[in-house]
Amino acid sequence: MTILPKNEVNFEEEMGNYNFSAAKSLKLKNAMGYNTRRIVEEGICVSDLCIDGLEYLFQKRLLVKEEIDALILVTQSADYIMPPTSNIIQGHFDLKQDMICMDINQGCAGFIIGLLQAFMLLEQEEIKKVVLLNADVLSRKVSKRDRNSNPLIGDGASITIVEKINESKKIYANVKMDGTGASALMIPAGGFKLPSNSETSKMLEDIAGNFRSLENLVMKGDEVFNFVQREVPPMIEMLLQKANLKKEEIQYYMFHQPNKFMLNKLADKLEVSREKMPSNIVEKFGNSSGVSIPTAIVSNLNGNLIKENYLMCLAGFGVGLTWASMIIEIGNLTFCELKEF
């Protein structure tokens, strides 16, 4: 299930914030997928989105509190530096103490990283059901006058139930990390390395005319684009080889959606049709980091996933730098829906 804020903002209404001409903005709107996006109202945190979704599942009896053995929250926008937000969510619902809660600081590859962590937990005999939460409210950390990031940023949360089944089905995955590129996507101030102070909150203009402070998210767009085009196609080819599958045997390529241009270039490079690799989420809801893959699945396949199974290739890439992919059959789900907050 995906939980998206009701609050929708429109690119054309915000164009005046960026130092583009109107003509240039409209050209980019089409190429990059700048359109509408969902962002939280002031003060809303990832715990609010997750609690809203879990409350709904409990009320509908789609999830039973007592059956949850682990709660994983993948986020880059935790409520506090400490304690973990997953503990706060556990406490809110007064879930059983005999469970494990963990926060994972990951972004655009966070859905796959979270699934892998859930699979590892399920290897434990006592753990039978894992609730994987992916959530981010990074719009709160992006400068409204930063044309690199603001036109695309979206907020949201997803809830995925991962549990043991009796059937034996293979899942293939690979994960790669390169910390030498860590500065390509970061929020420089506000942690222990550079605590927030009056200097870090000052808005400064960069060479391209963007205004942001050290407490805002900064993305080196060119570096991220080149990293994705260089690393992702060989990762997918390698995974298909490992799974002994041909590209056409995969029914859907549900990839993270940073922007439409980047995704379409990946589809062309991999020679995958645009129909099999949807790029419609970023222009409808924005780029919500680790929530974009589950949103793509829920929004494009929704009710079909209750009745059918689909062989999918998932891929996420971004902060870290991290890139990860997975070939997995998804289907016969108990629920698959998009909820507004």
Partner 1 sequence: MKERIIKILTDIRPEFDFTKKINFIENGMLDSFDIVSLVTALDEEFSISIDGMDILPGNFSSIDKIGELLNKKGIR
Residues that bind partner 1 (CB under 8 A): 20, 24, 27-28, 30-32, 147, 208, 221-222, 225-226, 228-230, 261-262, 265-266, 268-269
Whether a cis peptide bond, with omega within 30° of 0, leads into 278 is: no
Q: Which is nearer to partner 1, 106 or 259 (CB)?
A: 259
| Residue 297 near residue 330, CB atoms below 8 Å | yes
Shortest Å, Cβ 208 to partner 1: 7
Strand pairing report for 70-74 and 100-104: parallel
Shortest Å, Cβ 212 to partner 1: 16
| Residue 37 near residue 285, CB atoms below 8 Å | yes
Q: Which is nearer to partner 1, 83 or 209 (CB)?
A: 209
Both tokens assigned to 127: 């753990």
Strand partners, 32: none
Closest C-alpha to 5, from 207, 214, 211, 153: 153
Q: How far, in Å, CA of 77 to CA of 64, rounded? A: 27
Q: Which is nearer to partner 1, 18 or 252 (CB)?
A: 18
Shortest Å, Cβ 315 to partner 1: 14
Q: Is 328 helix (H, G, I), strand (E, B) or coil?
A: strand
Shortest Å, Cβ 34 to partner 1: 11
Q: Which is nearer to partner 1, 10 or 226 (CB)?
A: 226
Q: Is 179 helix (H, G, I), strand (E, B) or coil?
A: helix
Q: Which is nearer to partner 1, 76 or 259 (CB)?
A: 259
Q: Which is nearer to partner 1, 128 or 176 (CB)?
A: 176
What beta strand segments (E) does 182-280 contain?
A: 185-186, 204-205, 211-212, 218-219, 252-255
Shortest Å, Cβ 222 to partner 1: 5
| Residue 214 near residue 194, CB atoms below 8 Å | yes
Q: Which amino acid is at 229?
A: Q
Shortest Å, Cβ 110 to partner 1: 23
